[in-house]
A and B are shown apart, each in its own frame.
Chain A
Amino acid sequence: MSKGKGGKRVIEVDALARVEGEGALYVRLKGDRIEQLRFSIYEPPRFFEALLEGRDYSDAPDITARICGICPVAYLLGSSQAMESILGLAVSPEVRALRRLIYCGEWIASHVLHVFFLHAPDFLGYDDAIAMAKDHPEMVKDALRLKKIGNALLETIGGRAVHPVNLKVGGFYSVPERERLLTLRDDLTWGMETARALTLRVSSFDFPTLEQDYCCVSLHHPDEYAITEGRLVSDRGLDIPIDAFEQHFDETHVDHSTALHGRMRGREAPYLVGPLARYNNNREQLSDSARALAEAAGLGARVANPFKSIVVRMVEVFYAFEEALRLVDGWTPPAAAAVEGPVRAGQGSGCTEAPRGICYHRYVLDREGRILKARIVPPTSQNQPQMEADLRALVQRNLALPDDELQWLCEQNIRNYDPCISCATHFLRLTVERDARSTRA
């Protein structure tokens, strides 16, 4: 809609985008000043927290997995760990290693899908990976094989790739034989080398200019690049146990979105979670070879350009393959696939590094183990305010671009966050309304 009076112009996602997809962008400009910018998510609400009330604690992993078909392990594991903290269960080192291993599979499958199917086509100027495959067949075929190996890890340990069935509170229903895991070695070795080559390939893309002063929030673990557990840290001095999450982080419900907006208490500016935040906070804990690869790919000690998240994702893919190999080689089956204990009342939280960033769960149980209260904070809602801040900076820098180029740049920036697959793909329909004083670009 045009609001051409008083030197105003409006950049608006066509209302149809809401019909066809799950997102929208609205920008109102006065002269060269952005008066309002909002990025909305219209994913229909499914009310998981309400549906969990009254269910048994043991139902939480399978039910919450259905929040996201792309990163079910983040939900299976976050809810399981929250329940374990309530019930006072400590899993064995072998179970812990197997959890980290299946999580490597999820990182690989999710990251590779995002990098080559959702994001790389932007950089190379294609509508999709299938069109891209006509000109770059080897790259797409290699990416498909990498993704398949990630899925093979999920299937071997979890029973299936989407919504694995073998994970539970306390561990696993059963554990794979050592020999079965070792059959994955050749593929993992190939995957590691291929991921290295593709990281360098991706690092040669042209990256739009944008440097943001991010407040990076991630897990941090003293002994490893944090994936399944750790303390919550930021590069601004935050260092808290995950149980203290809600004392420091809040969500607000804004009228233009069905995703709640995350914010850090006492901080006006947004914060960032995900690969960039992890890399910036925990780079020292990557393996020597992953750090060397990052350096060869042109990443410094700190990455502030969101468009380079695609390179960071690839470094994490390489690391996940290397880590998976290490875990497969060192793994011995535990005495018991799961640890069990009596049910008791209480409250507990769990938090893991989903491919897109920290995913927090908290549950309150009654003494029979029924869920009284559930709270889940996924990465996308936490990143939403930062996505708006990035878009604001990007639009401001690129006001002179013609409509179609500005639209594509905005879409690409949203995809920097891999917010969730359907939101992250190509859904924006941007209309630029310019005031009478400016010429339509």
Chain B
Amino acid sequence: MARKRPRLAVWKFSSCDGCQLSLLDCEDDLLAIAERVEIAQFLEASRATAPGPYDLSLVEGSISTPEEIERIKAIRMQSRHLITLGACATAGGIQALRNLREFDQVLASVYAHPDYIDALATATPVSDHVEVDFELRGCPVNKGQLLEVLNAFLNGRPPNVSTYSQCIECKRSGTVCVMVAKGQPCLGPVTQAGCGNVCPACGRGCYGCFGPAEQANTGALSDQLAALGMTERAVRQYYRLFNNNAPAFREESKRHE
């Protein structure tokens, strides 16, 4: 008798949909995935929804409203494993920049009637609110890594996702170092690999989509960025992009205030 298929759920919080889209962008594998798992909840793709519990929940987006706090707790209770997808769910995303500012001022600059808006003063990672089994990095996530994580969890093994820096990825693919060869700023030395080496291959310095690498030496990199002519302000803002709220980047940016 065929084993019961594992039940997969995909959830969206405050985000751009790009990480969920990466799942739908697995064009060659999508129909095969749908045969291996029961997609019990994936509003972006299906009208059909089934109640929990779920074997695996994939969560996109940061927690930025009071309702989202309650919802993520309810999802956690129904999920055997919970994996965050991308920079928003893992570190708070670009919208976590508001954590650094007076929220009233942020509200007033966008909405004529701030009282209509029910949002928290902060945008925070899922792990600030519930236990997370695995955090998949990226703004957006990489399709190959996404498939690997799905495979690993569905087969009960640890995912094979490297935590070394972008520099290793450049070396492996033979991409010339944009910082050494052209004197361009690059966050590659402190950023986790996984994007597929996209920026340096375009002749552009890494801008940190995959967040801090393990044991990132941000202080040394900041010295190098200053030596290349970046101002304190420029260095600060460089760390304040899509993973601005990841601890290593957040603390380093504060050192340049």
Most buried by B among A47, A144, A421: A47
Give the segment of A17-25, A97-105, A194-202 that binds chain B: A17-25
Q: Which of B143-159 contact A (CB under 8 A)?
A: none
A70 to B201 Cα, complex, angstroms: 23
User: Is there an interface contact between B94 and A50, defined as CB atoms closer than 8 Å?
Assistant: no
CB-based nearest A residue for B48: A127
A258 to B67 Cα, complex, angstroms: 14
From A48, A165, A427, B198 is in contact (CB under 8 Å) with A165
Known: A44-B68, A66-B93, A255-B116. A160 touches B14 (CB 8 A): no
A402 to B: closest C-beta gap in Å? 17
Q: Is B196 an interface residue (CB 8 A)?
A: yes
User: Is there an interface contact between A63 and B241, defined as CB atoms closer than 8 Å?
Assistant: yes
Interface string of B60-104 (1 = CB under 8 A from A): 000011011001000000000000000000000111011001000
Interface string of A136-150 (1 = CB under 8 A from B): 000011001101100
- Return chain B residues, CB-CB under 8 Å to A255: 113, 116
CB-based nearest A residue for B68: A44
Q: Is B53 an interface residue (CB 8 A)?
A: no
Most buried by B among A67, A130, A426: A130
Q: Which of B188-242 contact A (CB under 8 A)?
A: 195-196, 198-199, 201-204, 207, 209, 234, 237, 241-242
Q: Is A133 an interface residue (CB 8 A)?
A: yes
Known: A50-B110, A66-B139. A160 touches B198 (CB 8 A): yes
Q: Which of B6-27 contact A (CB under 8 A)?
A: 12-22, 24-25, 27
Q: Is A68 an interface residue (CB 8 A)?
A: yes
A41 to B: closest C-beta gap in Å? 12
Q: Is A267 an interface residue (CB 8 A)?
A: no
Known: A66-B93, A69-B18. A50 touches B140 (CB 8 A): no
Give the segment of B38-46, B129-137, B166-174, B248-256 that binds chain A: B38-46
Q: Is A53 an interface residue (CB 8 A)?
A: yes
User: Is there an interface contact between B24 and A113, defined as CB atoms closer than 8 Å?
Assistant: yes
From B27, B113, B242, A145 is in contact (CB under 8 Å) with B27
A260 to B28 Cα, complex, angstroms: 38
User: Is there an interface contact between B43 and A66, defined as CB atoms closer than 8 Å?
Assistant: no
User: Is there an interface contact between A49 and B109, defined as CB atoms closer than 8 Å?
Assistant: yes
A140 to B20 Cα, complex, angstroms: 19
A140 to B: closest C-beta gap in Å? 7
A153 to B198 Cα, complex, angstroms: 15
Known: A66-B139, A130-B45, A421-B44. A44 touches B25 (CB 8 A): no
A253 to B110 Cα, complex, angstroms: 10
- Return chain B residues, CB-CB under 8 Å to A59: 237, 241
A123 to B: closest C-beta gap in Å? 13
Q: Is B161 an interface residue (CB 8 A)?
A: no
User: Is there an interface contact between A163 and B48, defined as CB atoms closer than 8 Å?
Assistant: no
Known: A62-B207, A159-B201, A165-B199. A426 touches B17 (CB 8 A): no
- Return chain B residues, CB-CB under 8 Å to A113: 21, 24
From A51, A117, A145, A254, B45 is in contact (CB under 8 Å) with A117
Residues of B within 8 A of A (CB): 12-22, 24-25, 27-28, 30-31, 34, 39, 43-49, 64-65, 67-68, 71, 93-95, 97-98, 101, 105-107, 109-113, 116-117, 119, 123, 139-140, 195-196, 198-199, 201-204, 207, 209, 234, 237, 241-242
